[in-house]
């Protein structure tokens, strides 16, 4: 049986010192197919009153940096723009515009769609020499305090990748990724050789796991994962709003 060779770690460009002046950009990944959920996760209702997509954008906007939505789904972009029109007015939008950065940028992810590592590579190429706070749309329990803790933990060494860790396993889709020259070159080399594993790339390039509370880092991938997603009054999502499981 023929096996596809794994990308050797030795081919990954080693990490080296990078500038410490990278500006922060928050990047929301929302391009998955939601096969296990049986319904588009980004459009699920959240107890906050918005969809998961809108709530995720609102959390990232709390950090005061430009926000980018990367998604293959046009409906996500339309919803994000409508949310921005409602929510990102006033002084914050003006100050970001004066700095040359729109408060929200929607990027339509082109094919091929081959997972978060390729998405990260595209973001790094689009935003060179920025510091990308990567966040997935399917962490509905995520809160501002957890994002702030992650950011604070990386203050001492901002040129290094910092990834969330829930005490049991790494959660690399929530992390700070400097898009400096060495990291961009390393990731481009890895993906050009066929590498698509984010954790395998991280093992070669080096990163710092940041211990964070497990609760806010939970992923919701299946309908049964939503049973304890309670609203402000402690009520779970109504049954009629839960997606039907697929075969």
Long-range CB pairs of 191-195 (<8 Å, 24+ gap) are 191/117, 191/118, 191/121, 193/7, 193/11, 194/4, 194/7, 195/7, 195/117
| Total domains present in the chain | 1
Is the pLDDT higher at 189 or at 226?
189
Residue 37 within any structural domain of the chain: yes
Look up the CATH number of the domain holding residue 207. 3.90.550.10
Q: How confident is the model over 162-174, as pLDDT tens digits?
A: 999 999 999 999 9
Asked if residue 233 is part of any domain, the answer here is no
CB hemisphere CA count around 146 (13 angstroms): 23
CA–CA separation, 241 vs 243, rounded Å? 6
Residue 159 has pLDDT above 80, yes or no: yes
Range of the domain at 160: 22-223
The count of C-alpha atoms lying within 13 angstroms of the C-alpha of 84, restricted to the half-sphere facing its C-beta, is 20
Local confidence band at 179 (pLDDT 50, 70, 90 cut-offs): very high
Does residue 46 lie within any of the structural domains?
yes
pLDDT at 95 over 50: yes
Residue 105 placed within a domain: yes
Q: Kindly list the distances between the CA atom of residue 25 and the CA atoms of 123, 161, 217, in Å, as whole numbers in the listed order.
A: 10, 14, 20
Reported as half-sphere exposure (CB side, CA atoms, 13 A), residue 159 has a value of: 10
Q: What does the mean pLDDT of the chain come to?
A: 83
Positive/negative CA dihedral, 201, 205, 206, 210: negative
The answer to whether position 17 is within a domain reads no
**What pLDDT is recorded for position 235?**
34
Q: Is residue 1 part of a domain?
A: no
Cis peptide before 112 (omega within 30 of 0): yes
What is this structure's pTM? 0.81
Identify the pLDDT of residue 245. Answer: 32
Asked if residue 57 is part of any domain, the answer here is: yes
**Residue 228 lies inside a defined structural domain of this protein:** no
Tens digit of pLDDT for each residue in 122-150?
999 999 999 999 999 999 999 999 999 99
């Amino acid at each position: 049986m023929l096996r596809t060779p794994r990308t050797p770690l030795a081919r990954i460009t080693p990490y080296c010192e990078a500038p410490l002046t990278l500006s922060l950009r928050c990047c929301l990944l929302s391009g998955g197919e939601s096969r296990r959920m049986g319904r588009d996760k980004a459009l699920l209702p959240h107890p906050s009153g918005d969809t998961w997509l809108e709530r995720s954008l609102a959390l990232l906007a709390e950090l005061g940096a430009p926000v980018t939505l990367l998604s293959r789904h046009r409906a996500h972009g339309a919803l994000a723009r409508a949310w921005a029109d409602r929510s990102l007015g006033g002084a914050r939008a003006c100050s970001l515009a004066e700095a040359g950065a729109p408060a929200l940028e929607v990027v339509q992810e082109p094919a091929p769609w081959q997972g978060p590592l390729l998405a990260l590579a595209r973001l790094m190429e689009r935003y060179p020499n920025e510091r990308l706070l990567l966040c997935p749309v399917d962490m509905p329990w995520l809160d501002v305090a957890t994002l702030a803790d992650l950011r604070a933990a990386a203050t001492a060494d901002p040129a290094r990748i910092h990834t969330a860790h829930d005490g049991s396993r790494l959660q690399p889709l929530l992390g700070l990724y400097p898009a400096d020259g060495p990291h961009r070159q390393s990731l481009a080399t890895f993906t050009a050789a066929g590498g698509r594993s984010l954790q395998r790339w991280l093992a070669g390039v080096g990163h710092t796991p940041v211990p964070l509370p497990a609760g806010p880092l939970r992923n919701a991938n299946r309908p049964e994962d939503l049973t304890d997603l309670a609203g402000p009054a402690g009520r779970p999502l109504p049954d009629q709003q839960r997606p039907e499981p697929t075969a």
